[in-house]
A and B are shown apart, each in its own frame.
Chain A
Amino acid sequence: MEYLCGGNMNGVNVMKNPIENLNKTFDSRIRLGIMSALMVNESVNFNQLKELIQVTDGNLASHIKALEDNGYIKIQKGFIGKKTNTLYSVTKAGEKAFQTHLDALEKMIKNIK
């Protein structure tokens, strides 16, 4: 179907290989969850992420570390009373990478259909 409307944007995009645009870093449900939550919120703390994604502390921490090492999220340590409160937010690079990943996913779905 896509090839029939060759003149428009969709038709052009189909020619490229969208798999190249899929980001290996986001190749996990937990990392996708972290990025999704951070994309629509200014910042989210560790416990909120844990509740949302429903994973163990260690598991979540290791995925956060991976995203941080890639420069996709930034960490801000703070305190609420005496308790530490670690806030996470997405970086400009992370926003861009995630958007590219989403676009690639969408294109792949269109291609297969």
Chain B
Amino acid sequence: MNEAQKLSNELQDIKQMMERSSRFISLSGLSGIAAGICALAGAWFANSLINKQTVLDLRASATLPDAIVHGDFLNSRLLQVAFVTFVAAFLFAFIFTYRRSKKTNVPIWGATAKRLMINVSIPMITGCIFLLALIKAGAYDFVAPGCLIFYGLGVLNASKYTLPETRYLGCCEIFLGLVSLYFKGDGLYFWAAGFGVLHIVYGIFMWWKYERS
């Protein structure tokens, strides 16, 4: 090994240490794929519960009390499907990332993981509370765009603390959410595209780049 190579390796070591100590690098691409599949399954179930007409009726229900289709939205099947989808996606994402953390030899619950969770949670919890208020006010049109936008903001915020490519995922989610504001009644399709397709595309890309061996 010549002198230049030795020095290069030294710089490489320094760079790697800086990354390892400040970013959670065990996030697995397979987690993205699994979460995307859960989202598509959830959207499929939701789609069988509602159709465009129901969405329009739901919207009308804000002004016409007798137009309510599913009764109390907070106790509706739709919200149960959403909840199960979220839990399943989170669990699968966790399993694959846990497996990867064993390989990269980084503790799953270390300082970097904590920082990542805190930074993704703040915009997400804010979004949750805001969306519940929108639902209460009967503004159902804004629920799907709101999910995409707040999730996108959460991912964007977290991208400083994990693999930098997540930044693009966050931006795409926000963009899709903003576009969907102008397609009222099609929210579920945009939701499926954002949480399903984008996650799968992102997951495959990340798996290809970092984990294929």
Contacts and interface: CB of A to CB of B under 8 A. Distances in A.
- Asked if chains A and B come from one complex, the reply is yes
Interface of A: 29, 32-33, 36-37, 39-41, 44, 48, 51-53, 102, 105-106, 108-109, 112-113
Contact of B111 (A33, A48, A113): A48
Contacts of B8: 109
Contact of B21 (A29, A36, A106, A108): A36
A37 B3 contact: no
Interface residues of B, number: 18
A33 B17 contact: yes
A37 B111 CA distance: 12
Given A48-B110, A51-B107, A112-B3, A102 B21 contact: no
Contacts of B10: 32, 105
27 contacts: A29-B13, A32-B13, A32-B17, A33-B17, A36-B13, A36-B14, A36-B21, A37-B17, A37-B18, A37-B20, A37-B21, A39-B18, A40-B21, A41-B21, A44-B21, A48-B21, A51-B107, A51-B110, A52-B17, A53-B17, A102-B11, A102-B14, A105-B7, A105-B11, A109-B4, A109-B11, A112-B3
A52 to B, nearest CB: 5
Contacts of B111: 41, 44, 48
Interface of B, secondary structure class, is helix
A39 B18 CA distance: 8
Interface string B139-169: 0000000000000000000000000000000
A112 B14 contact: no
A40 B107 CA distance: 19
A36 B11 contact: no
A88 to B, nearest CB: 12
Given A32-B13, A33-B13, A109 B18 contact: no
B22 interface: yes
Contacts of B17: 32-33, 36-37, 52-53
Contacts of A105: 7, 10-11
Contacts of A36: 13-15, 17-18, 21
A67 B14 CA distance: 16
B112 to A, nearest CB: 9
A112 B11 contact: no
B102 to A, nearest CB: 14
Contacts of A112: 2-4, 7
- Those 10 A-B pairs whose CB atoms lie nearest each other, nearest first: A36-B17, A37-B21, A112-B4, A40-B22, A40-B18, A36-B14, A36-B18, A109-B7, A33-B17, A52-B21
